Structure 1
Amino acid sequence: MSPRRAPGESRAAILEAARTQFAEVGYQHATIRRIARVAGVDPALVIQYFGSKDDLLAASLQMPVDIAALTAGIEDHPDLGTELVRRALAIWESPPVRAALLGMLRTGMSHQRAGDVLSALLQRSVLGVVQRYATGEDATFRAALVGAQMAGLAMGRLALHVPELAEASIEQLANAVGPTVTRYLTGDLAGAHPPRPRS
């Protein structure tokens, strides 16, 4: 008989199992019963802690990084994009953060519903902070460009292990990608116009 878990340990085990299942078999096929079996708990406990599979999905997609803390004081740097990329890459080196980000990316790509939840999370917790550093009336558009650039870098370095990205140093990538991020935030977008807000 396995030792009795503390409530916090059971909750953590369920979240870990959910991230694994959402990433491996997709949102549609990751049932509460299957997640409970992987976590080693009764399915009723999953419902008790999270209420529904949708709520469990939302909980499993929580951002593992405090974006406000990550960007604090970044406006004082002469090339804020390079500093932003440098800080993000440094945090990604932490195994717990790396694992959580990978789980988020894989889960978000597993099903349309998961993608919608991840998109809303990124809009709320990432782009909402990043756009504070963007200039002009198109700050939301600029922040979205930064988000796309950073998501692509994360996919290439962490998920796909593209050799040129995975093996590059933090400074190499920061110096290569950072100026583009700075241009997205404060520079000339070469005549690009953001889409009009939905009415």
Structure 2
Amino acid sequence: MESLGIQHFGAFVLACIALALTPGLDTFYILARSGREGRTVGMAAVLGINAGCIVHTLAAVLGISAILMTSALAFAALKYLGAAYLVWVGLRMLLARQSARQPTVTRGRGLSAAFRQGMLTNVLNPKVALFFLAFLPQFVSMQAPHPQWGLAVLGVSFIGVGMLWSMVLAMLGGQVHRLLDARPHLGQWMDRACGTVLLGFGIRLAMQRQQ
């Protein structure tokens, strides 16, 4: 680890665990997809979200994320695009008027939709990009011959910890899915609740400021 410039790796892993256990948009999205469509779809959402984390890791390594820190225009553009996407998905779920026994707005689209939406909600969030840019370098010495490799290793480690917890969440959501299958009318209420929360996340993102 020292050859890569990585410092205090144990503390880094503990921080990753604490961050993974902190509820947020990713946590809610995984539980919502797995609860409404089953464990397998929830796992696809997990893969999508972590694919987004890979994008952010690469951006941090290459220095692309620094643009968001220095450019108010770039930050605002990505922020409003991400907020618009969350609001769009939330409204579709919130305003859907279907029979309790019919597929929901998201149901039936399966694995590809869960993966795509999970990835987009993560990639289009500039706060996540700035988090990777600010968090990873704290544990890498910029005096190392190739600190980029150290950042990449830390990024992969962060993703690994997050993925393990995300898989647990997907399995928990799968248990909720069984309950909803036994009581179809509850599915409509869950769609509305999920739509409301996603809408709230979108509005909150739109109101955030660059720091």
TM-score by length of structure 1 reads 0.32
Structure with greater helix share of residues: 2
Higher relative contact order (CA 8 A, sep 6+): 2
TM-score by length of structure 2 reads 0.31
